[in-house]
Structure formats: structure tokens, C-alpha cells
Amino acid sequence: MILAIDTSCDETAAAIVQGRRVLSSVVFSQIHEHQQWGGVVPSVAKRAHTQRIEPVIEQALRKAHVSYRDLKAVAVTIGPGLAIALEVGIKTAQRICMEQRLPLIAVNHMEGHLFSPFVQNSRGNPVREFPFPMIAVLVSGGHSEFVLWTDTMKYEVIGRTVDDAAGEALDKAAKILGFGYPGGPIIERLAAEVGNRDLYQFPRPMLRSPSFDMSFSGLKTSLLYQVRSMTEDQKNTKLHDLASSFQEAVFDTILRKLTRAIRKTKVQTLTLGGGVGVNARLRALLRRYARANDINLYTPPFKYLNFDNAAMIGIVGSYKLDAHQYVADIASLDRIPRLSLPAFQTIAEQSRFMKKRVLMKS
């Protein structure tokens, strides 16, 4: 059994896992503490993590009926995330490993989101094989990327946002429209109320570039200009359409770039992970695309797995434990706030990899 810890952003999370099974998962959200500031404040996050990390771990152990003696290792998120928030989890993990003489496993938070569709409950459900090769669509508040996943521990980012993440764009759009944080669920609700119609047709950036990269910051500027050109009354009567058109532009961009990546790689399985992945409109668009193109779509089997949690970190930890990927010097493990998944430096490098890994028909 593994104890997993994640304090990368604004949730204090611990879990006990065994292989791919989650025996317990505890998440303490700080969202109410950050809401009054309109976003996540690092110093507030640090204080809240420090206060809650011990009780959250105790609760995870208790819920799983497990004691420290039953553990085989501790897995902890080392990045990406807020430096002073990550530090709280890492220091706690280091202390436990030294006290209990346990190996420590360092996990990339995005690896957690990547594995989230394959996490099981305590009974081992759902049973899902890994149907490699796959493309994972990871969309959260800090990241938006397409990952070509060819074997359990082999994955490469093949496309990513060059500026704002999809969730960040939705959060900023909500702010421009006068709403609070987080903006994603608010935009989703407003858009649904007008049937997700696309009245304003904001530009879809970077569609002409052959890469699978995306950009969302110009879109935010388009929304800002549109809102500035309206009176307060006009804006208020068009809030739903502004939100809906913005959301359509974000999701349409993702879908078009994804379509290109799938055509190029010929993969037949698509996965979805990250906070934006709970969005019903995004799911509907992906489902429709998958059905029309004979592609399997895997989403996280339980809702909590879309958001930040330690269970997904523990599952990655299990695979790293099997591969003997421990931290060599526990005391010197440090956070890496800008850690990213492996990625190619050039398009040529990327297409060589894809030709080798995935059967590409030119």
C-alpha cells in the first residue's frame, strides 16, 4: 500500500492506494478561502496546507483501516504547482519516510491527471486495460495539452497551449463578465442556458499553424474588446451569449487541434483528464467526435478524479514503485514548480517519434 500526498494548488489531498485501487481518498478544498481574492493566493494556500496536511493524512489512513506499518512507500507531487504549496506536501512526505524508513516516490501532478481514467475503486472497478497507443487530452486550470501515450510509463506531449490554459481562459472570461472564481462552472451554466450557441464567433487562434499547439490568450482579448464596446445594459442582456460564444471558441479550438493530432497518429483511443474535463459541453463534443470516427473515449470513472486529488498520484506511484523509481536521496528532494511532462523540442523530432511508435500511413 502507498500513501500519496498532493498539495500542488488549492486542495490538500492524501490517499491510500494498492496497485490501481483506491482504498481511501481525502481532499480538503480551500476554495472558500481563495474566493474572496478572486483566485488562488499562494500564501493563503501554504497556511491552509500546513494546518490541514496532518489531519488529512490521518483521515486517509483511518478510512482505509491502515497504519504506517502497512505502507510500502510514500508518493508525493513535486510539481507543477505553487512552490510554497508543493513544499508542504514534500516536507511532510520526507518526514514520514525518514521516521518510518519508507522509500519516497516523486510524481508529476500531470502524470496523475494522465492516469486518472484508469484509477479503480477499492473493489477494483472499473476494469480497464490500457489500450495503447492513446492520446490524452489534459485540460485544467494550469495546463492544456495533448499527450501521446504509448506505454505505461512512456508519454510525450505533442501539443500544448502556448499561453493560457483552457481552465485559466474560462476563469478569466468569467472575471471579465463580472463573475467570481472558479469561472469554468459559471461559464458552463450560462452557455447551457442558451443551448451553447455561438453568436459572437470569436476567432479560433493558431488553426493555420501545422502544430498541435493552442493559444487562448488572444481569445480573452477578443472578449474584452467585445464587452468594452457594449454598454453595461447591453452586456448584461448578452451575458449568456458572451459566455457561450467564448466557451465554444475554446472547445472548438481544442477539438480541431485534437482532430488533426488523431488523424496524424491514427490512434483509436482518446482519454480526458483535468478539471475542465467535467464540463458537459466539452464531453458532449468529444463523445460526438469519437462516435463519428470510431474512437474509444475514456474519462475518469468517478467525478472526484477530474479534480485535484491524491488518489491519481498514488496510482502513478504504484507503477513507479514496480519500476523501482525511488528518490535516491530523500532529504534533498525539492519541488519543481514548472515541471512538465516530457516533450519534443522540434516538430521533426516529434514526427520521427510518432512514425516509430504509432503506425502512421504517411
How do strand 144-151 and strand 154-160 relate by DSSP bridges? Answer: antiparallel
Taking 3-state DSSP, the helix, strand and coil percentages for the chain, each rounded to the nearest 5, stand at 45, 20, 35
Question: Rule CB under 6 A: is residue 80 a binding residue for ligand KG4?
Answer: no
- Which partner in ligand KG4, Zn ion, none is near 185 (CB below 5 to 8 A by kind)? ligand KG4
SS3 string of 291-321? HHCCCEEECCCCHHHHCCCCHHHHHHHHHHH
> Does an H or E element contain 254, and which?
helix 239-265
188 or 308: whose CB is closer to Zn ion? 308
Degrees, nearest 5: CA angle 6-78-125: 45
Please give the size of the binding site for ligand KG4, defined by CB under 6 A. 20
- Residues pairing with 96 in the sheet: none
Question: Rule CB under 6 A: is residue 274 a binding residue for ligand KG4?
Answer: yes
Restricted to residues 124-143, the positions that interact with ligand KG4 (CB under 6 A) are 140-142
Restricted to residues 299-328, the positions that interact with Zn ion (CB under 5 A) are 308
Q: Which of 307, 333, 341, 357 binds ligand KG4 (CB under 6 A)?
A: 307
> Does an H or E element contain 251, and which?
helix 239-265
Q: Which of 79, 159, 183, 205 binds ligand KG4 (CB under 6 A)?
A: 183
124 or 180: whose CB is closer to ligand KG4? 180
Q: How far is the CB of 104 from ligand KG4 (least distance, A)?
A: 22
Q: Which of 87, 156, 164, 171 binds ligand KG4 (CB under 6 A)?
A: 171
108 or 215: whose CB is closer to Zn ion? 108
Please give the size of the binding site for Zn ion, defined by CB under 5 A. 2
DSSP letters, 94-140, are HHHHHHHT--EEEEEHHHHHHHGGG-B-TT--S-----SSEEEEEE-
State phi, psi for 99 to the nearest 5 degrees.
-65, -40
How do strand 104-108 and strand 73-79 relate by DSSP bridges? Answer: parallel
Q: Which of 112, 182, 300, 317 binds ligand KG4 (CB under 6 A)?
A: 182
Q: Which of 140, 215, 279, 318 binds Zn ion (CB under 5 A)?
A: 140
- Which partner in Zn ion, ligand KG4, none is near 315 (CB below 5 to 8 A by kind)? none
Question: Rule CB under 6 A: is residue 275 a binding residue for ligand KG4?
Answer: yes
3-state class (DSSP) for residue 127 = coil
Question: Rule CB under 6 A: is residue 279 a binding residue for ligand KG4?
Answer: yes
3-state class (DSSP) for residue 212 = coil
Q: How far is CA 39 from CA 34, 36, 154, 168, in A?
A: 6, 8, 34, 10
- Residues pairing with 12 in the sheet: 28
Question: Rule CB under 5 A: is residue 11 a binding residue for Zn ion?
Answer: no
Q: Which of 79, 167, 205, 300 binds ligand KG4 (CB under 6 A)?
A: 167
Question: Rule CB under 6 A: is residue 12 a binding residue for ligand KG4?
Answer: no
Question: Rule CB under 6 A: is residue 278 a binding residue for ligand KG4?
Answer: yes
Q: Which residues contact 113 (CB under 8 A, 6 or more apart)?
A: 138, 140, 143, 273, 274, 312
Q: Which residues contact 297 (CB under 8 A, 6 or more apart)?
A: 269, 270, 271, 272, 286, 287, 290
Question: Rule CB under 6 A: is residue 300 a binding residue for ligand KG4?
Answer: no
Q: How far is the CB of 346 from ligand KG4 (least distance, A)?
A: 28
204 or 357: whose CB is closer to ligand KG4? 204
- Which partner in ligand KG4, Zn ion, none is near 111 (CB below 5 to 8 A by kind)? none
87 or 168: whose CB is closer to ligand KG4? 168
Question: Rule CB under 6 A: is residue 276 a binding residue for ligand KG4?
Answer: yes
CB 244 within 8 A of CB 200: no
Cell readout for 174 is: 468569467
Among candidate residues 76, 258, 241, the one with its CA nearest the CA of residue 166: 258
Q: What is the binding site for ligand KG4 (CB under 6 A)?
A: 9, 140-142, 167-168, 170-171, 182-185, 188, 274-276, 278-279, 307-308
Q: What is the binding site for Zn ion (CB under 5 A)?
A: 140, 308
